[in-house]
Amino acid sequence: MKLSGWGRYPVLEAQVHAPRSLEALSALVRSEPELIARGNGRSYGDSAINHKATIAMGHLNRMLAFDPASGQLVAEAGVLLADIISVFLPRGWFPMVTPGTKFVTLGGAIAADVHGKNHHADGSFRSCVDWVDLLGADGEISRCGPRLDSDIFNLTLGGMGLTGVIVRAAIRLRPVESAWVRQTTLKAPDLRSAIKAFEDGHKATYSVAWIDCMGQGRHLGRSLVMMGEHALRHELPAEKARAPFRTSARPQMSVPFDLPGNLLNGLTVRAFNAFYYAAGAGGRAQQLVDWDRYFYPLDAITGWNRIYGSGGFAQFQCVLPLERSEAGLRALLAQTARAGSGSFLAVLKRMGPQESAFSFPMEGYTLALDFPMNRKTLALLERLDQITIEHGGRFYLAKDSRMTAATLEASDNRVADFRNQRHSRGLASRFSSAQAKRLAL
Amino acid sequence: MTKPPVLLFGARSDIAKALAHRFALDGRALQLAARNAASLESDRADLELRYGVSVTLHEFDALATDTHADFVRQLPELPEIAVCAVGLLGVQVDSERDTEPAVRIMRSNYEGPASILAVLANSFESRQSGTLVGISSVAGQRGRASNYIYGSAKAGFTAFLSGLRNRLAKKGVHVVTVLPGFVATQMTDGMRLPPALTAQPAEVAAAIAQAVARKRNVIFVRPVWRLIMTVVCSIPESLFKNMKV
């Protein structure tokens, strides 16, 4: 069947298997010459597509054990963060690290070593993983963790499923007193003030900025920086404190068909941006936001990826080292604004130190932009790649759909080691994706 | 107060799993019956963890009809609702060539399911309450060249359910016949099915839970199937026999 990632580009033909049991999965790994596991298809490009065998992990989605003393949850890889939240938030637990959508699987979160708005404080998803059960090329399961077979654990976190099939994991959840987040929004008139807001706000549990990438000249980098804290029960108004985990269900909207691809031209994006910026007027605003609106604003619109039309879209996400972040961001934003092709969403985030062999994050600033997929975008992305490399940055493979192997190699000196490890461990020929082939991993 | 349990036969099937989640969400205890029941341990843990209900596993072989009476006698608690999701599509061409696969399809879709529901029906009748649900098929509405072995067994099961409903109507026991149409399950993995006619297992489960609550008799999961089957059944046999359907 035809498969694509969340960006709907590229669309590739693939043989899909959906095993219902570990035995069936193991038999597939033993018999298929090459394969890749696929979670909920929320990586943007071709990370989770293998033409010969793509293993849909959605049926292996059982939660196996929970220890309320430590907050440790053991679950199969196909479980969604959304399910974990719906079961455990009412009991006072929330994922320690979550990306911007709750519709990712546990296995996908580990493979991409996802990060959230608390990366500066808590690190990537890896920080909450106690161990991973990995199905190797021999069809056998072995357990790895930060202190147990840590080499393969390091390679697996951020390893994009290329070290074996993640079948189970133990993660620690975070105790919370309510389902609410205290959000403080700061208006930053330019890039320097945005960076200052992040640096001043390093003690905040969560921080992220929406950045107006149409801003040019003295407006370059103007943003809304949003800080957040899990609200304690006594911080809630009385009527909410009575049932601190109850939030009203959000109205779910959907995009039922592809919108015309040119809808989001520079003008509409400019209008949208100006509106959004004005809505944040007042310099500093505090509000109480429910977890779903705070962490997953776009999840309320089912199929929001269709607003870019049938051609799909590309997401660009890089991270720049701290000392060169400001210069690099300035160059990236100026280039984007000049192209005028409009990024509907531009997200800036301060990242903290990162431990791992192949995970995306590093201490510095990460910028995420998205664009309708077309020739002009592809050319722009090449220029953004170059700027990133010139500033010592690297790229998020979970977002990538079009980078070249040479670009990856130039951006990341860990590539050769990752590739060598895959070869020496006999993983390279068995676990592979369209992305792995494109990037020569 | 815990509600009386729901018993699911063929508990490893995708529809039964979806039903388990649906009923557990309502706070119902579950009895999962299948061959090699111990392999459902992960599902038991998952359902208990998610919904805080009690789940028990029961070894059950639909084809071992001589064990069915004992199976029901040995249940720790007589369920309030029992759903039979046992079924086998098989490969029609194998059944045309050979009797063994054909008989297996007939027994798996008719004999086994009817046998176990017949035993439960008597227990429910003595108790004067309960709901029995049989998952049959639109394939049983009219025999087609491509799957008449399966279809004939489902036709038998549909007739069995209707007769049982008729018998128990005044005894406080209700019988629901489910004709799901296409469902995206392991049975249909790899088939190219039209999305508009294909239900997800969770959709089937929701339809069944509603049918049980509202005491519906015969349900199609997606309403369009009622229309399709009305048309299919109204074509004269003289035309139908030459059609490629």
B84-117 residue pLDDT tens = 999 999 999 999 999 999 999 999 999 999 999 9
d(CA B52, CA B29): 9
B188-217 residue pLDDT tens = 988 889 999 999 999 999 999 999 999 999
Please report the ipTM that was assigned to this predicted complex: 0.91
A197 has pLDDT over 90: yes
What pLDDT was estimated at residue A305?
84
Between chains, do A63 and B45 touch, taking CB under 8 Å as contact? yes
Residue B132 CB burial class (10 angstroms; 0-12, 13-18, ≥19): buried
What's the DSSP call for residue B194? -
Question: What is the bridge-based pairing of β-strands B55-59 and B28-34?
Answer: parallel
Tokens of A238: 């009385």
- Contacting A with CB below 8 Å, chain B residues are 12, 14, 39, 42-43, 45-46, 49-50, 186, 189
Least confident range of A73-87, B194-208, B231-245 = B231-245
Between chains, do A20 and B39 touch, taking CB under 8 Å as contact? no
Between chains, do A64 and B49 touch, taking CB under 8 Å as contact? yes
* CB distance A350 to A188 below 8 Å: no
| Among candidate residues B55, B20, B25, B50, the one with its CA nearest the CA of residue A89 | B50
Strand partners, B219: B178
Between chains, do A63 and B43 touch, taking CB under 8 Å as contact? no
For residue A10, say if its preceding peptide bond is cis, omega within 30 degrees of 0. yes
Between chains, do A18 and B46 touch, taking CB under 8 Å as contact? no
A411-427 residue pLDDT tens = 999 999 999 999 999 99
d(CA B20, CA B44): 10
- Contacting residues of A for B14, CB less than 8 Å apart: 20, 59
Homologous superfamily, domain B3-240: NAD(P)-binding Rossmann-like Domain (3.40.50.720)
Between chains, do A18 and B189 touch, taking CB under 8 Å as contact? yes
Active site residue B150: yes
A18-75 residue pLDDT tens = 999 999 999 999 999 999 999 999 999 999 999 999 999 999 999 999 999 999 999 9
The average confidence (pLDDT) of chain B is: 96
What pLDDT was estimated at residue A115?
98
Tokens of A129: 């993983």
Nearest-by-CA chain B residue for A14: B190
What is the average pLDDT across A184-203?
Answer: 94
C-alpha distances (whole Å) from B45 to each of A84, A139, B9, B50, B51 are 14, 24, 18, 9, 10
What is the percent of chain B where pLDDT is above 90? Answer: 94
A112 has pLDDT over 60: yes
Q: How far is A428 from chain B (nearest CA, A)?
A: 27
pLDDT category of residue A341 using cuts at 50, 70 and 90: low
Displacement of CA A202 from its chain's centroid (Å): 21
- Contacting residues of A for B42, CB less than 8 Å apart: 62, 64, 76
B141 has pLDDT over 90: yes
What is the percent of chain A where pLDDT is above 90? Answer: 78
pLDDT category of residue A298 using cuts at 50, 70 and 90: confident
B29 has pLDDT over 70: yes
User: Which backbone phi and psi does B8 adopt, to 5 degrees?
Assistant: -115, 120
From start to end of B123-207, where are the E strands?
130-135, 173-179, 182-183, 198-199
What pLDDT was estimated at residue A280?
57
A260-295 residue pLDDT tens = 655 555 555 665 566 566 655 556 778 999 999 999
Least confident range of A244-253, A413-422, B45-54, B112-121 = A244-253
Least confident range of A134-138, A220-224, A421-425, B64-68 = A220-224
What pLDDT was estimated at residue A149?
87
Nearest-by-CA chain A residue for B39: A21
What pLDDT was estimated at residue B71?
98
Between chains, do A62 and B42 touch, taking CB under 8 Å as contact? yes
A367-412 residue pLDDT tens = 999 888 999 999 999 999 999 999 999 999 999 999 999 999 999 9
What pLDDT was estimated at residue B244?
80
What pLDDT was estimated at residue A342?
62
Q: How far is B50 from chain A (nearest CA, A)?
A: 6
What pLDDT was estimated at residue A361?
98
- Contacting residues of A for B32, CB less than 8 Å apart: none
What is the average pLDDT across B114-126?
Answer: 98
Nearest-by-CA chain B residue for A88: B50
What pLDDT was estimated at residue A355?
85
Question: In 3-state terms, what secondary structure has residue B102?
Answer: helix
Nearest-by-CA chain B residue for A62: B46
Map A121-168 to HEC letters. Answer: HHCCHHHHEEEEEEECCCCCEEEEECCECHHHHHHHCCCCCECEEEEE
d(CA A298, CA A343): 15
- Contacting residues of B for A66, CB less than 8 Å apart: 49
Of B14, B45, B189, the CB nearest to A65: B45
Between chains, do A65 and B43 touch, taking CB under 8 Å as contact? no
d(CA A290, CA A231): 10
Of B45, B50, B186, the CB nearest to A20: B186
- Contacting residues of B for A59, CB less than 8 Å apart: 14
B237 has pLDDT over 70: yes
What pLDDT was estimated at residue A368?
95
What pLDDT was estimated at residue A248?
81
Q: How far is B90 from chain A (nearest CA, A)?
A: 18
- Contacting residues of A for B50, CB less than 8 Å apart: 63, 83, 87
What is the average pLDDT across B20-41?
Answer: 97
> Structural domains in chain A?
59-177 (3.30.465.10), 180-232+251-404 (3.30.70.2520)
- Contacting residues of B for A64, CB less than 8 Å apart: 42, 45-46, 49
What pLDDT was estimated at residue B165?
98
Q: How far is A349 from chain B (nearest CA, A)?
A: 34
Nearest-by-CA chain A residue for B191: A1
The average confidence (pLDDT) of chain A is: 92
Between chains, do A20 and B46 touch, taking CB under 8 Å as contact? no
What pLDDT was estimated at residue A316?
95
Which of B12, B189, B200 should we substitute to test contact with A (largest number of A Cβ atoms within 10 Å)? Answer: B189
Nearest-by-CA chain A residue for B52: A87
Which of B49, B53, B188 should we substitute to test contact with A (largest number of A Cβ atoms within 10 Å)? Answer: B49
What is the average pLDDT across A179-207?
Answer: 95
Between chains, do A83 and B186 touch, taking CB under 8 Å as contact? no
Strand partners, A410: none
Between chains, do A66 and B49 touch, taking CB under 8 Å as contact? yes
Between chains, do B50 and A21 touch, taking CB under 8 Å as contact? no
B63 has pLDDT over 70: yes
